[in-house]
Amino acid sequence: MNMKVDLCGVTLNNPVMTASGTFGAGEEYSEFVDLNRLGAVVTKGVANVPWEGNPTPRVAEVYGGMLNAIGLQNPGIDIFIERDIPFLKKYDTKIVVNVCGHTTEEYVEVVERLADQPVDLLEINISCPNVREGGIAFGQKPEMVEQITKEIKKHAAQPVIMKLSPNVTDIGEMARAAEAGGADGLSLINTITGMKIDIDRRCFVLANRTGGMSGPAVHPVAVRMVYQAAQAVKIPIVGMGGIMNAEDAIEMILAGATAISVGTANFTNPKATMEIVDGIRDYMQRYQVKDMRELIGAVHDR
């Protein structure tokens, strides 16, 4: 039985990755998870310089989900290269570095700094709903998506995965724009912009007013968008959005994802990623699936 998948020319031992921002750079969760068992660790977004992020409260729970507005707090690329990459190198897993910035130049600077680093893939965050400049500003217009993808591809030494926002009218159009810009792969969905109001105090729960919604409540939306993106492009897709267990992961793969990322589920169950790897293996045994690739995009009409 083969659980390996090829993601933009990089072979993952299995399709299970972590969703950026939920897993730090792996160190904290390594007390619960054997990182060697994951297909890849996707790091928290890193910028050219340290970012302080948003004021607190930064998170709120909602029914079947949560909102976050961390604001891409990160220690900057210097510390990241010095501390976080060497930590991850100790494990037999692939390293995907999520890159954020306010301007094209900032993204490019990080991408260039990573060029000689032992990093397998880059995930470019053009879809964070919680920062005013950069982030989602690049991810909601197809021409912007294509342009920034082109710029990043000019400077990147590793394959480039563009992380797309669900806060758009036509996800297929965005997917095609990234592909036209030369993206090696896509990842989606980032969080859906939401809001929660404290009715006793009549105030916004989050200091940022709005936050990105994640968790099982968004999973059907994510499955639909991954399916539509997969129909629109030929490049591989990393599917994410509310994956809580192996069933959710397989659904995403059947919709067209080559690999999947587990995010909010880590908060609910620190061992979720490993359990999902085990669950996918069980599913393959039960249905006598010899190769993961048989499942990718295998959904059909009833």
Partner 1 sequence: MQARVGKFEETAIIIRQEEIADDIYSMWLRTDEIASHAKAGQFVSVYCNEGSRLLPRPISICEIDKKDGAIRLVYRVAGKGTEEFSHMRTGMQLRVVGPLGNGFPLKHKKAFLIGGGIGIPPMLELAKALDCEKHIVLGFRDELFLLEDFQGKGQIYIATEDGSAGTEGNVLDAIRENGLSADIIYACGPTPMLRALKEYAAKNQIECWISMEERMACGIGACLACVCKSKEKDAHTNVKNKRICKEGPVFRAEEVEF
Nearest to 20 by CA among 190, 165, 230: 190
79 is an interface residue for partner 1 by CB under 8 A: yes
**Residue the block writes with tokens 């998948």:** 5
Residue 128: active-site member? yes
Alpha-carbon distance 215 to 235, whole Å? 26
- The CB-side HSE value for 148 (13 A sphere, CA atoms) comes to 33
Q: Where are the beta strands (DSSP E) in 178-243?
A: 185-188, 192-195, 197-198, 203-204, 210-214, 237-240
Nearest to 38 by CA among 18, 22, 21, 11: 18
Q: Closer to partner 1 by CB, 45 or 181: give it.
A: 45
138 is an interface residue for partner 1 by CB under 8 A: no
87 is an interface residue for partner 1 by CB under 8 A: no
Residue 175 in tokens:
């997917």
264 is an interface residue for partner 1 by CB under 8 A: yes
Residue 99 in tokens:
């890159």
Alpha-carbon distance 286 to 97, whole Å? 34
107 is an interface residue for partner 1 by CB under 8 A: no
102 is an interface residue for partner 1 by CB under 8 A: no
Alpha-carbon distance 260 to 279, whole Å? 13
267 is an interface residue for partner 1 by CB under 8 A: yes
| Out of 216, 241, 256, 279, the residue judged to bind partner 1 by CB under 8 A | 216
Task: Report angle CA 200, 204, 205 to the nearest 5 degrees.
Answer: 80
> Judged by CB under 8 A, how many residues of this single chain contact partner 1?
38
Alpha-carbon distance 111 to 124, whole Å? 9
Q: Closer to partner 1 by CB, 141 or 271: give it.
A: 271
Of 34-73, which residues contact partner 1 (CB under 8 A)? 44, 50-53, 56-61, 63-66, 68, 70, 73
227 is an interface residue for partner 1 by CB under 8 A: no
| Out of 12, 14, 17, 22, the residue judged to bind partner 1 by CB under 8 A | 22
141 is an interface residue for partner 1 by CB under 8 A: no
**Residue the block writes with tokens 């709903």:** 129
Q: Closer to partner 1 by CB, 104 or 117: give it.
A: 117
Q: Closer to partner 1 by CB, 27 or 143: give it.
A: 27
Catalytic site positions: 128
Residues forming contacts to partner 1 in the complex (CB under 8 A) are 21-24, 28-29, 31-32, 44, 50-53, 56-61, 63-66, 68, 70, 73, 75-76, 79, 215-216, 264, 266-271
